Amino acid sequence: MAIQTSSLELGSGTLVQAIPASASRGYWKSVARRLRRDPVTLVCAGTLILIVAAALAAPWLGLADPYKTSMLRRLYPLGSPNHILGTDELGRDMFSRLIYGGRLSLFMGVTPVLCALLIGGFLGITAGFLGGRVNMAIMRVMDVFYAFPSVLLAISLSGAMGAGTENTLLSLTLVFIPPICRVSESVTTQVRGFDFVDAARASGASTLTIVRVHVLGNVLGPILVYATSLISVAIILAAGLSFLGLGVKPPEPEWGLMLNTLRQAIYVNPVLAALPGVMIFITSICFNMMSDGLRAAMDVKA
């Protein structure tokens, strides 16, 4: 029984229907392009850049000394001369402290996520790709940490280790490693099951080459999206720890700590007392919106 068809002309490619080359070259470039067109993402990115830039450039912006106290000029309201946003309970300029506070608050939010991304991502990808005993060993350890709600884990760890910036960074990193590891493992396991990874294995390449060329490119996207969604949680958690007195120690300016020390002022100058929280809120919501935008940009197949 013969299959009725004309035989193919090889080498010319004329019988094969060609799709016109699309405008999108490269996956990441198309993601960037979509991000650039989304107004919400742009506004959030702009706001964040402003906050970060201000925080980084703080020493050179000609601001008042954030540590300089003054018993006379305490709790000045907003709009006072020389102090646009008033002064805090020890007479320090609020505007300056808010901007300087951004340095520590952002640092405490981003750094643990970054470290957790490196460690948790590495562990997760390894567990996902190798499978078997390695996978079980790593994931069971993560399960132990997962048995705690994140806030509880952070507080217990910080509570035990004591207050201070380094301890907070350590405990927050430990809190974020398990979720990032879990997401990395699940994504890697999924990609590992795809035929093209099998095809790469069948070609006889080394494991490292296969992971580098085939796995990482497909896995880093979702992991990064997840990690960016954790930044806002980290900022709030770090602020929360400082609020409880477990994080940054006074007199350092940090938004969460400021919320704590200004509590006594809520009867005197309530708006002032709420200001540091506004900064946390704005930063957190911008990061969340950008993470959502990133996810949306990466979701659409080019």
Site for another protein in 237-276 (CB under 8 A): 239-240, 243-246, 259, 263, 266-267, 270, 273-274, 276
Q: Report the residue from 46, 56, 84, 198 that binds another protein according to the rule CB under 8 A.
A: 198
Q: Out of 236, 248, 290, 297, point to the residue binding another protein (CB under 8 A).
A: 236
Does 302 interact with another protein (rule: CB under 8 A)? Answer: yes
Does residue 27 touch another protein according to CB under 8 A? yes
The one among 35, 47, 110, 277 contacting another protein by CB under 8 A: 277
Q: Is the distance from CB of 103 to CB of 58 less than 8 angstroms? A: yes
Residue type, 253: P
Site for another protein in 175-194 (CB under 8 A): 194
Q: What is the CA radius of gyration of the chain?
A: 26
Going by C-beta distance under 8 Å and a sequence separation of 6 or more, which residues neighbour residue 190?
none
The correct pick among 42, 69, 148, 186 for binding another protein (CB under 8 A) is 148
Residue 38 structure tokens = 């989304």
Candidate segments 53-61, 83-91, 110-118, 212-220, binder of another protein by CB under 8 A = 212-220
* CA–CA–CA angle 220, 224, 226 (5° rounding): 125
CB of 21 to another protein, least distance (A): 7
**Residue 300 near another protein by CB under 8 A:** no
By CB under 8 A, tell whether 199 contacts another protein: yes
181 or 236, CB closer to another protein?
Answer: 236
- Residue indicated by tokens 């996956």: 27
Under a CB-based contact definition with an 8 Å cutoff, are residues 151 and 172 in contact? no
Phi and psi torsions of 93, nearest 5°:
-65, 125
DSSP state of 123: H
Report d(CA 240, CA 87) in Å as an integer: 22
Among 48, 159, 169, 249, binds another protein (CB under 8 A): 159
CA pair distance 29, 35, nearest whole angstrom: 10
C-alpha 97/C-alpha 88 separation (Å) is 9
Residue among 21 and 72 whose Cβ is closer to another protein: 21
Whichever of 107 and 281 has its CB closer to another protein, that residue is: 281
Q: Does 84 bind another protein (CB under 8 A)?
A: no
Q: Is 166 in the site for another protein (CB under 8 A)?
A: no
